[in-house]
Amino acid sequence: MRLHLVNPNTTASMTAKIAAAARATALPGTVIDARQPTMGPVSIEGYYDEAFAVPGMLGCIREADRDGADAHIIACFDDTGLEAARTAAKAPVIGIGEAAFHMASLIAARFAVVTTLSVSIVPIEHNLRKYGLAERCARVRAAEVPVLALEERNVEALGKISAEIAAAIRDDRAEAIVLGCAGMADLAAELAGKHGLPVVDGVAAAVTLSEGLVRLGLKTSRLGPYAAPRAKTYAGLLSPFQP
């Protein structure tokens, strides 16, 4: 099967890192097609960045659909543009945030999220409520690490993330940790070993769930809000995105 992994920001090196994590998890025979848009922010840190990342990301999804993708994975923990992507894509779409939350809920009564910056806390809390998992999350914590600091192994960044995990176990009674950024994908196993509890990486979770959807032949329902968008004219710079 062919899974399309889209990094909604424009940083190619981060796309390569996320793709490597996805390929390490994927089943034999699963092809990971990783892309990022050519327009938009270099990283997504808050609502403003998110808004300008969506058009380019949707363009990548449209191209991947044409290339025969069996499923799409949005590799941003805020699940940037997830709802719009599900209406537009022919194949099913999974966000790494939603995937990680659901996976954590299967292995722990209470989990905590450790993300990058505090500006992401409220969007993540909003998504937890939307997905019906807010009561299962003990707390969303921020390590105050910029997204692009995770491109390479950064000892200081790793230390801050590890400290928040220790605090989540001690103060929040967390039984599992969800890593709240695609750029943390390569840290999960190390942090799980250090702290002695399950650490869920959203990229790996999304790959596994996407493979399951494809194997079961399940696709996005078109009977409700994920119905295909109605044909209409889009003006100006957005004209290429009209349905």
- Kindly tell me if the per-residue pLDDT of 43 is higher than 80: yes
- Measured from the Cβ of residue 105, the count of other Cβ atoms closer than 10 Å reads 20
Find all residues with CB under 8 Å of 44, minimum gap 6, and list them. Answer: 8, 9, 50, 53, 76, 78, 80, 147
pLDDT tens, residue by residue, 63-107: 999 999 999 999 999 999 999 999 999 999 999 999 999 999 999
Enter the CATH code of domain 98-202. 3.40.50.12500
CB 92 within 8 A of CB 72: yes
Question: Where is pLDDT greater, at 45 or 75?
Answer: 75
Domain coordinates in residue numbering, the chain = 2-96+204-241, 98-202
Q: Using alpha carbons, select from 188, 20, 206, 22 the residue that is nearest to residue 103.
A: 206
Domain 2-96+204-241: CATH architecture, name and number where available: 3-Layer(aba) Sandwich (3.40)
Fold identical between 2-96+204-241 and 98-202? yes
pLDDT tens, residue by residue, 110-138: 999 999 999 999 999 999 999 999 999 99
CA R_g for the chain? 17
pLDDT attached to residue 73: 98
pLDDT tens, residue by residue, 137-149: 999 999 998 887 7
- Measured from the Cβ of residue 242, the count of other Cβ atoms closer than 10 Å reads 11
